[in-house]
Structure 1
Amino acid sequence: MTLVDAEPGDRVLLLSWQHLDVETPYRADGPIFVNESAKETGVWRNEVPEQQRGRLLSVRAYDAGGWMRDAEVVEGVELAPLVDRYFSEAAVDFLHVHNARRGCYACRIDRA
């Protein structure tokens, strides 16, 4: 399974997704686009999906309690080094990636 952009003519669903269900002020939901023909979610280990490498991304680092510890806007080709930097901090438990321009939620990154 790969994370891919919709092609012209594809039907997509614009949905609200609760991507951070925590009891902190950072609790959040936001827009996601899902291709109507999608059958499953993608899982990648130790790699950045090609589709994310060409985007401007907003990356947010959270601790286990859902408190934001850091955040950065980077080009997708710079995502892997940023992930390494954030996870070098013991307090960072997971990351959320959003498309910076439109704000749509893209994915969650967990420690391997």
Structure 2
Amino acid sequence: MLTITALTTDTARALQAGGLDANGQTPERSTSGGAGNPCRHCLRYIPEGADMLILAHRPFPDPQPYAEVGPIFLCAEECARHEGDAMPEVLQGSPDYLIKGYGQDDRIVYGTGAVVEAERMMGQAEEIFADPRIAYIHIRSARNNCYQARIDRE
């Protein structure tokens, strides 16, 4: 079984408390415009008018050549982490996503990257996980390459 994995609560709480982002900067505070601002912890859109954080995130344990850093949004106030089998709200708002597999060494496994229609994403992830070298899969914006969430084997 596959599961969508959100940003950890420890990471979210540290950033919400003013911790530094992947670039060593304090996250910027802003006001959400609504549906275009997906929180990477609750995996819901930050409501219009709500406070949010904009920050640089590296969804890898250590810096290395394949450890991409990019912008993400996060609820400024504490929110509940996405859990469970349901497709999160933020992954229902785009027609397609870029997904790609990574090995235990946190490096891209070449040949696994694909832009897939949203309704085919989990099926394509199953196919990628058929490769024993795959440890996890990233879900990214097909248009801006922004990190959305991770897919793990349960």
Q: TM-score band, normalised by the shorter chain?
A: 0.7 to 0.9
In structure 2, give the amino acid aligned to 1:14: I
Query: In 2 relative to 1, CA 2–27 (structure 1 residues): closer, same or farther, beyond 3 Å?
Result: closer
CA contact (8 A) 1:61 1:86 kept: yes
In structure 2, give the amino acid aligned to 1:10: A
Within 5 Å, give how 1:27-106 maps onto structure 2.
Answer: 27-45=67-85, 47-55=86-94, 56-69=96-109, 70-106=112-148
Q: How much does 1:22 deviate?
A: 4.4
Q: Deviations over 1:30-52 (max 9, x none)?
A: 1110122342322334x532430
Q: Deviations over 1:37-86 (max 9, x none)?
A: 342322334x5324303323111101111221121112222111111111
Number of equivalent positions: 111
Residue aligned with 1:60, SS: strand
Structure with a larger share of its residues in strand: 1
Runs (5+) with no aligned partner, structure 1? none
Runs (5+) with no aligned partner, structure 2? 1-40
TM-score (norm 2): 0.62
TM-score (norm 1): 0.82
Q: Which has the larger radius of gyration?
A: 2
Once the two structures are aligned, what percentage of the paired residues are identical? 24
- Kindly report the root-mean-square deviation, in angstroms, between the aligned alpha carbons of the 2 structures: 2.1
